[in-house]
Amino acid sequence: MEAPPVTTMPVSGGTINMMEYLLQGSILDQGLEGLLHRLRGLCDNMEPETFADHESVYLLKGQQASPFVLRARRPLDRPGAPWHLRYLGQPEAGDRSRHALVRNCVDIATSEVLPEFLQEMGFRMDHEFIAKGHLFRKGVMKIAVYKVFRVLVAGTAEGAEPLSLSYLVELSVVAPAGQDSVADEVRSFAEQLRPLVQLEKIDPKRLM
């Protein structure tokens, strides 16, 4: 899946703090075509982009209670395309005044030696998975509808098997910090997808 552009940019000697505004949900396999039909009517691209990505999650344990987490993702369907290294901060799910989950987001393109670099830095791979699906766009919003596959042979997509009988649905916007009106736009678009799919603020820590 095409990642957003580098989200830490020089501005007057400083940086822009980028935030991801996110809502998530899921839909059973049999409801997929109905959702795709609805999205074709609502989004800028009537025919979605397709993607097949291999993502590995790396941990670095230190003195802090929870490990530092980085994500390395590579496209399986575009040989030669860059890898992407992504950092996602702790979600600010407790702020009920916001209509979307908000977290710090840094995403940079890298070379294919990224796994080796992370291992040299002391990170260890915790888990990996394959994500295959469809990507729609509505202005700055991205709507990803994809299935997660379990990796059976480390480091390769061969023989990967579906993790469930459903698709994940993610509606997200990456924008500079402080633009909380973006969360309202995300929620407004999510309302148009009901009752096909219910998109919500989901705190990953509650799933552990």
pLDDT in tens, 149-160: 999 888 787 889
pLDDT in tens, 169-186: 999 999 988 888 898 999
**pTM for the whole thing?**
0.85
pLDDT in tens, 84-112: 999 998 887 556 677 889 999 999 999 99
Distance from CA of residue 172 to its chain's centroid? 8
Residue 202 lies in a domain: no
Query: What is the C-alpha to C-alpha distance for residues 167 and 150, in angstroms, rounded to an integer?
Result: 14
pLDDT in tens, 140-150: 999 999 999 99
pLDDT attached to residue 168: 97
Residue 5 lies in a domain: no
Residue 140 lies in a domain: yes
Give the CA angle between residues 19, 81, 159 to the nearest 5°: 95
pLDDT attached to residue 93: 53
Residue 184 lies in a domain: yes
Tell me the CATH number at 191: 2.40.320.10
- Domain encompassing residue 92: 18-196
Residue 173 lies in a domain: yes
Cα dist. 60→50, 64, 203 in Å? 32, 10, 21
Residue 10 lies in a domain: no
pLDDT attached to residue 92: 72
Higher pLDDT, 158 or 189: 189
* Total domains in the fold of the chain: 1
Residue 201 lies in a domain: no
Mean pLDDT along residues 43-60 = 93
For 182, half-sphere exposure in the C-beta direction (CA atoms, 13 angstrom radius) is 24
Per-residue b/e over 81-99, b at no fewer than 16 CB within 10 Å? eebbbbbbeebebeeeebb
Residue 204 lies in a domain: no
